[in-house]
Amino acid sequence: MIDVIHDHAFHLYNQKISYLCSLLPNGQLGHLYFGPRLSLTNTDLDYLSQGSSPYAWMANFSSDQPFALGDAQQEYPVYGTGDFRQGSLSVTQDDAPVYPNFVFKDYHISHTKMRDLHHPTSFGNPALTDVLTIHLEDETAQLLLTLQYTIFSDSATVVRAATLTNQGSEPVMIQRMLSGVLNLPQGRFDVVHLSGNWAKERHIQTQPLTQGTFSVESLRGASSHEQNPFVALHAVNRSFTSGDTYGANLIYSSNFLDSIEVNEWDQTRLLIGIHPASFSWRLDPKTSFTTPEAVFSFSSGGLAGLAQVNQRFVARHIIDPQWRQKTRPVVLNSWEATYFDLNEQKLLRLAKLGRQVGVDCFVLDDGWFGTRDNDLSSLGDWFTNKHKFPDGLGHFAQEIHDLGLQFGLWFEPEMVSPRSQFFQKHPNWVVRPKRGRFSITRNQYVLDFSNPAVVNNIFDQMQKVITETHLDYVKWDLNRSITEAYSPYLAKIGHPQGEFFHRYVQGVYTLYQKLLTAFPQLLIEGCAGGGGRFDLGILFYSPQIWTSDDSDAIERLAIQSGTALAYPLSCMSNHVTAVPNEQVGRTTPLATRFRVAAFGILGYELDLTKLSPKELAIIKDQISYYHDLQPLVLNGDFSLLLPRQSNGQNQVAWLLSDHARKRLVLGFFRVLADADSRTVQYMKIPLAQPNRRYWVNGHTGPISGDVLQRVGVRLPIQFNGANREQAQLIGDYQSALLTFDGVTDIKAINRRREEEGKEKVGHV
Ligand code: DGJ
C-alpha cells in the first residue's frame, strides 16, 4: 500500500514494514523511516520531520535557505552539496562538475510490474504490487531524476531504482549513479557480508561498523566469487535470531559497490549500485539511463529472520514463476565423471546407470564441441565434435531421450579460445586493449558482448544445437574475469569505454532473453567456475546456479549457510561427488554428501561405473527420498537453525518446512566428533506447530509440536567411547536427516499406534 500525505510525504507499507519519505525544506526528497510497520498520524509526520540543530562547520543550502544537507537523510544524495558523505550521483558536463538540485515535481502510483526478459527486475501481479514513481527536476541543469519504489504486499522489502533523463540539448556524463540508499540515522550495526574465494564462496563474515567507510565490491566484470552484492546490517550485540536487521542486494551481475559509511554523528548510510570506478555513461540529449534495482529488506528477527524474508522475496519476485511449480530434474553431470575424456559409449554407459538409480537428466558438460579435448581450444565453436559423436549430437541426444532422460549441455557463451575457428574469423570480437599485451586465463579470451553482432552470432550457434538436440537444460558457464577492458566495437561507434562493463552485461541479458524467448521451457543453470556469478540478475533468468565448484560436504555447510542468507534453496544446485573430494581431498560419508546436497537442487557428478552395487542402491534410495522432498525445497520455508559461519561452528542445523508446518525436515551435521560427548541432546524446532503431533523417524510415538518447540527433538546419540551399542553417530562428518510428519487427526495417530501394537495417545 502507498499513502500520500498532503502531497509531500509518501508512506509505503504492508503488514510487516513501513518506508517513509517526505520533502525537505528545499524541495528535495528526504528519508524519514524504514523498519517495522508504523501506524501514522499527521502529527507523527510533523514530529518525524523535525529538522536538526546547527553544527559547527555546517554548510547552509544557500544564502536564503538556512537549511543544511550535512546530516539530512536524503533519498538520492548528490555529493558535494554540503553533505560530505558519499553520494548516489555524480554528473559532469564539459568536464566540469554539475551539482543538481533535484526538486519535487510530481508522482504517480501504479500496480503493474510485469516480468520483461529484456531487463532483470523484480515483478509481481497487480494484486500484490504497488509502484510509486516520483519525478524530481533541476531546471537549470535540465536533468530529470525519476525515483521508483516498489512494495509487494507479501514481502518485507522495498525495491528501488533511479532514472536520469537529459532534458537539455548538450550531452552530460554520468560518473556515478547508484541504485539506492539506505539511511539509518539511529543505532549501531555489525555489517554481515558474504565473502570468500573460488571453492569457498559466500561465507558469512561479520564485523562491527565504526566511523568510516566499509565496502564490498567487484571489479571483475561479474558479481564474483570473492564478494557478493548482498550485505546485511545487524543491530550490535544481538543473536543470530534477534535484533533489527536490514538487508541490501542488487539485481545485477556485473561490477557492483556496496558502501556503508558511518559519519561523525553515528548516522549510517548504505549505498548500493553499479561500481563507479569502472563506469561512466554519456547521456545524450533526450535520453535516459536507468540503474539496476536495489532490494532493501528488513526483519526484527535477526539474520535468521532476514534470511527468510530474502528467500521468499527471491522465490516470488525474481525467479521465473514456471520454476516454482515444475519439478527440477535430478541431474547426472559428466564433468567430474569423465572430464574431457569422453566418447559416446562411455557417456551412454553412465547415462544408463544414471537412469537405473533414478536421475531425471543427463548433462554433458565441457568437451563435446569443436575439437575440444582439453581447455586449450574450441570455445566459440559451438558445433559437434565429430570425432567424439560420429553420428552427430542429435543422434546422441536421441539415445539419451530414448532412455527416458532429459538431456543437458554445457556452454560457455561469453568466451573464445585463441585456438578456434571463431577467433580466426573474428579477432576483433574480443575484449582487448587497442595496443599491447592483454591477459589470458584458462587459455581463453572474453568476447565483446557489448557488440550485438557477437551476441547474435553466439545465439545463432546455440539455437542450432538446442534445436538439433531438443535440449532440455543448458549449463551456462563463465571461467574468467574481464581484464584490460576495452571494446573495439564501442570505439568504432564512438561510445565512451566507461560504458563497456554495463553494455557487456546487457549483452549477457540479451542472450538470455533471446534464448528464453525462443525456448521458453529451457532450464538454464547459471555457473561461473562454480559460484562466481551468484546474483539476482542471473537468478531472474536462471532459476538455479551451480553453487560452487567445491562439492565437499563440509565446505558446502559454510557455502550453503551463507548463500541461504540471501537466496532460496531452490536456486542452489548441489551435487554429490566422489571421495576423496576433488577440491579439498576430504573423504566424507556418502550419506553426509547426500544430506548436505539435498538442501537445494540435487544432482550427481561422479563415475557411477566405479561404484559398488550397494552404493548404487543407496543412491537410488537417496534420489527417491529427494523426489519426495523437492516440493519443500521449491516452495517451503527454510530456517538456518545453526548456520556454519566464518568461525566454523562444529554443529550445523538446517530446517525445512511446508507453509502449513505439516511436514518438517531437519538436517543435522557435526563436523568433528566430540570426545566423551553427552548422550542426550535436544534441538529446538521453532517451526513445529503446538497443536500438532509429529511422527519423527528414529523416535517412537508422535511428539507434540509444543514439546518440539520448547524442549526440542532428541538428536541421534553420539559415540562417546563407552556407548558403542547405542551410538548412532560416530566419527567425523556426522549427519542425520529427521523428518517430522505432522498430524492433527487423533484417530489417524491411534490407528497407526494400534498397527504398531502400542498404547493409544491422549488428545492433542
Ligand atoms: C567450471 C565449472 O564450474 C565446472 O562445473 C565445469 O563445468 C567446468 N567449468 C568445465 O570446464
- The per-residue pLDDT for range 105-140, each reduced to its tens digit, is 999 999 989 999 999 999 999 999 999 999 999 999
Residue whose C-alpha is closest to residue 92's, from 164, 189, 155: 164
**pLDDT score of 764 more than 60:** no
**Cα 35 to middle of ligand 1, angstroms:** 42
CB 319 within 8 A of CB 538: no
CA-to-CA distance for 514 and 476, rounded, in angstroms? 14
**Cα 336 to middle of ligand 1, angstroms:** 9
Reduced to 3 states (helix: H, G, I; strand: E, B; else coil), residue 408 is: strand
CB 274 within 8 A of CB 259: no
Which of 363, 549, 575, 606 to probe ligand 1 with, by most ligand atoms within 8 A of CB? 549
Which of 410, 442, 550 to probe ligand 1 with, by most ligand atoms within 8 A of CB? 410
**Cα 111 to middle of ligand 1, angstroms:** 42
Which one is predicted more confidently, 141 or 763?
141
Q: What is the pLDDT of residue 559?
A: 98
> Which amino acid is located at 284 in the chain?
D
**Cα 669 to middle of ligand 1, angstroms:** 28
Binding site as annotated, residues for substrate:
198, 365-366, 442, 475-479, 527, 549
Which one is predicted more confidently, 229 or 6?
229
List ligand 1's pocket residues with C-beta within 6 A.
Answer: 335, 365-366, 410, 477, 479, 527, 529-530, 546, 549
What are the pLDDT digits (tens) for 388-399?
A: 999 999 999 999
**Cα 481 to middle of ligand 1, angstroms:** 15
What's the Cα-to-Cα distance from 217 to each of 154, 498, 539, 560, 561, rounded to whole Å? 30, 17, 19, 21, 21
Query: Comparing 209-223, 262-276, 650-664, 698-712, which segment has the lowest mean pLDDT?
Result: 698-712
**Cα 165 to middle of ligand 1, angstroms:** 42
Counting residues of the chain whose pLDDT is more than 90, the rounded percentage is: 89
What are the pLDDT digits (tens) for 281-328?
A: 999 999 999 999 999 999 999 999 999 999 999 999 999 999 988 999
Neighbours of 461 (CB within 10 A): 18
Annotated catalytic residue, options 535, 549, 552, 637:
549
What are the pLDDT digits (tens) for 144-192?
A: 999 999 999 999 999 999 999 999 999 999 999 999 999 999 989 999 9
**pLDDT score of 385 more than 50:** yes
**Cα 215 to middle of ligand 1, angstroms:** 30
**Cα 348 to middle of ligand 1, angstroms:** 20
Stretch 687-716: mean pLDDT, rounded?
92
Strands (E), 111-197: 129-138, 143-152, 157-166, 172-184, 189-197
Please name the residue that has the C-alpha cell 533519498. 75
Q: Is 477 one of the catalytic residues? A: yes
Stretch 501-521: mean pLDDT, rounded?
98
**pLDDT score of 438 more than 70:** yes
Reduced to 3 states (helix: H, G, I; strand: E, B; else coil), residue 705 is: helix
**Nearest atom in ligand 1 to 529's CA:** 3
Radius of gyration of the chain (CA): 28
**Nearest atom in ligand 1 to 375's CA:** 11
What are the pLDDT digits (tens) for 569-607?
A: 999 999 999 999 999 999 999 999 999 999 999 999 999
pLDDT, averaged across the chain: 95
**Nearest atom in ligand 1 to 530's CA:** 3
Name the residue at shortest CA distance from atom 4 of ligand 1: 529
Name the residue at shortest CA distance from atom 3 of ligand 1: 529
**Nearest atom in ligand 1 to 528's CA:** 3
**Cα 630 to middle of ligand 1, angstroms:** 25
Which of 340, 442, 546, 604 to probe ligand 1 with, by most ligand atoms within 8 A of CB? 546
**Nearest atom in ligand 1 to 475's CA:** 7
CA-to-CA distance for 415 and 369, rounded, in angstroms? 14
Q: What is the pLDDT of residue 636?
A: 96
Stretch 363-382: mean pLDDT, rounded?
98
Residue whose C-alpha is closest to residue 639's, from 674, 599, 678: 599
Torsion angle of the four alpha carbons 507, 513, 515, 519, in this order, in degrees rounded to the nearest 10? 180
pTM, full prediction: 0.97
Name the residue at shortest CA distance from atom 10 of ligand 1: 366
Name the residue at shortest CA distance from atom 9 of ligand 1: 529
Annotated catalytic residue, options 83, 244, 448, 477:
477
Which of 443, 477, 606 to probe ligand 1 with, by most ligand atoms within 8 A of CB? 477
In sequence order, the β-bridge partners of residue 183 are 269
Which of 225, 479, 525 to probe ligand 1 with, by most ligand atoms within 8 A of CB? 479
Binding site as annotated, residues:
198, 365-366, 442, 475-479, 527, 549
Stretch 430-455: mean pLDDT, rounded?
96
Q: For 710, which DSSP code?
A: H
Q: What is the pLDDT of residue 761?
A: 67
**Nearest atom in ligand 1 to 365's CA:** 7
Name the residue at shortest CA distance from atom 1 of ligand 1: 529
CA-to-CA distance for 312 and 307, rounded, in angstroms? 9
Counting residues of the chain whose pLDDT is more than 70, the rounded percentage is: 99
Helix (H) / strand (E) element for 635: namely helix 613-635
Torsion angle of the four alpha carbons 475, 316, 201, 524, in this order, in degrees rounded to the nearest 10? 0
Name the residue at shortest CA distance from atom 11 of ligand 1: 366
What are the pLDDT digits (tens) for 619-636?
A: 999 999 999 999 999 999
Cα separation of the two ends of the chain: 40
